[in-house]
Amino acid sequence: MLHDMKWLKEVYDLFVDDPKLSLLVFVALAVAVIVARAGAKTAAGLAIFLIVAASLWFSTRHD
């Protein structure tokens, strides 16, 4: 099972300096998957962009 989660650790390591940011990215992906499953693929892409952009903005403004 740990071998299957190797990709998750690699993605997490990209955001190792800001763990809250990495969590927000996974939230953005989860929201996008739900929206895409509902049939709104363009809105899913927009959701990823907006959530990640807002997370980055908040992270740089808040610190």
Q: Which of 6-10, 18-22, 35-39 has the lowest mean pLDDT?
A: 6-10
Sign of torsion over alpha carbons 23, 19, 42, 46: positive
Looking at residue 16, its pLDDT comes to: 66
Helix, strand, coil percent content, the chain, rounded in steps of 5: 80, 0, 20
Looking at residue 1, its pLDDT comes to: 47
Cα separation of 63 and 40, whole Å?
34
Looking at residue 25, its pLDDT comes to: 80
What global pTM score does this model have?
Answer: 0.62
The pLDDT tens digits of the residues spanning 22-42 come to 788 888 889 999 999 998 889
| pLDDT, mean of residues 36-60 | 86
Looking at residue 56, its pLDDT comes to: 77
Q: Tokens standing for 5?
A: 């989660």
Helices (H) and strands (E) in the chain, counts: 3, 0
